[in-house]
């Protein structure tokens, strides 16, 4: 039986050509479905309502939420964070409210990435609202990273801030 594309080729030469083609296919990089590589969107929620009077970013009594995400060759992550925030402003002037941040921990890296805040709220007003932010982290090396939300109070012990229904979601891009 002869090959119509190579009618003068012997069987031995044909097998060598096929073997060479198979090796090339085996050595060719393949792209898998992104959900196979990353598991898609990773998310975590902490529903516990907890307060802080820390003037520095800190964990609450229930740490998190925390998400592990696989950074691909693009070096980018889409990060979404939200929490219900409650505080009673201090009786004296100055900034009142809190900051929420997402820290990224990975191969040789710690970054406070998302920082959304409120401040200078009228002193006679009790405040409860949902605070959220969306950001893209870029320039990351490929690998596994841990992302975790952190919190602070702008007024410290004068006006502690309570965070509840804290949610963190991360999508590799």
pLDDT digits (tens, 9 = 90+) for 14-66: 778 778 877 776 666 555 444 444 457 889 999 999 998 888 888 999 998 99
Domain boundaries, the chain: 1-30, 35-172
pLDDT digits (tens, 9 = 90+) for 134-166: 888 888 888 888 889 998 887 777 778 888 999
Homologous superfamily in CATH for domain 35-172: icosahedral virus (2.60.120.660)
Q: Residue 129: in which H helix or E strand, if any?
A: strand 127-137
Q: Distance between CA atoms of 124 and 172, rounded to whole angstroms?
A: 43
Query: Could you tell me if 163 and 94 are in contact, meaning their C-beta atoms sit under 8 angstroms apart?
Result: no
Mean predicted confidence (pLDDT) in 77-106:
77
- pLDDT recorded at residue 4: 62
- pLDDT recorded at residue 17: 76
Those residues with Cβ within 8 angstroms of residue 71's Cβ, 6 or more apart along the chain or in another chain: 77, 106, 140, 141, 142, 143, 144, 145, 172
- The more confidently predicted of residues 63 and 95 is 63
Residue 94 has pLDDT above 70, yes or no: no
With b for 16 or more beta-carbon neighbours within 10 A and e for fewer, the 16-41 pattern comes to eeeeeeeeeeeeeeeeeeeeeebeee
**Is residue 154 left, alpha or beta, with left meaning phi > 0 and alpha meaning psi from -120 to 50?**
alpha
pLDDT digits (tens, 9 = 90+) for 106-141: 776 767 666 766 655 655 566 777 788 888 888 888
- The more confidently predicted of residues 157 and 77 is 77
């Amino acid at each position: 039986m002869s090959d119509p594309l190579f009618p003068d080729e012997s069987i031995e030469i044909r097998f060598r050509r096929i073997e060479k083609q198979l090796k090339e296919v085996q050595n060719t990089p393949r792209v898998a479905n992104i959900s196979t590589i990353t598991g898609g969107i990773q998310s975590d929620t902490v529903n516990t309502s907890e307060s802080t009077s820390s003037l520095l970013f800190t964990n609450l009594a229930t740490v998190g939420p925390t998400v592990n995400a696989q950074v691909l060759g693009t070096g980018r992550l889409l990060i979404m964070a939200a929490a219900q925030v409650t505080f009673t402003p201090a009786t004296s002037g100055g900034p009142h409210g809190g900051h929420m941040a997402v820290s990224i921990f990975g191969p040789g890296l710690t970054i406070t990435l998302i920082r959304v805040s409120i401040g200078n709220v009228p002193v006679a007003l009790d405040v409860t609202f949902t605070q959220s932010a969306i950001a893209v982290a870029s320039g990351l090396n490929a690998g596994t990273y841990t992302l975790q939300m952190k919190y602070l109070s702008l007024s410290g012990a004068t006006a502690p801030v309570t965070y509840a229904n804290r949610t963190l979601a991360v999508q590799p891009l």
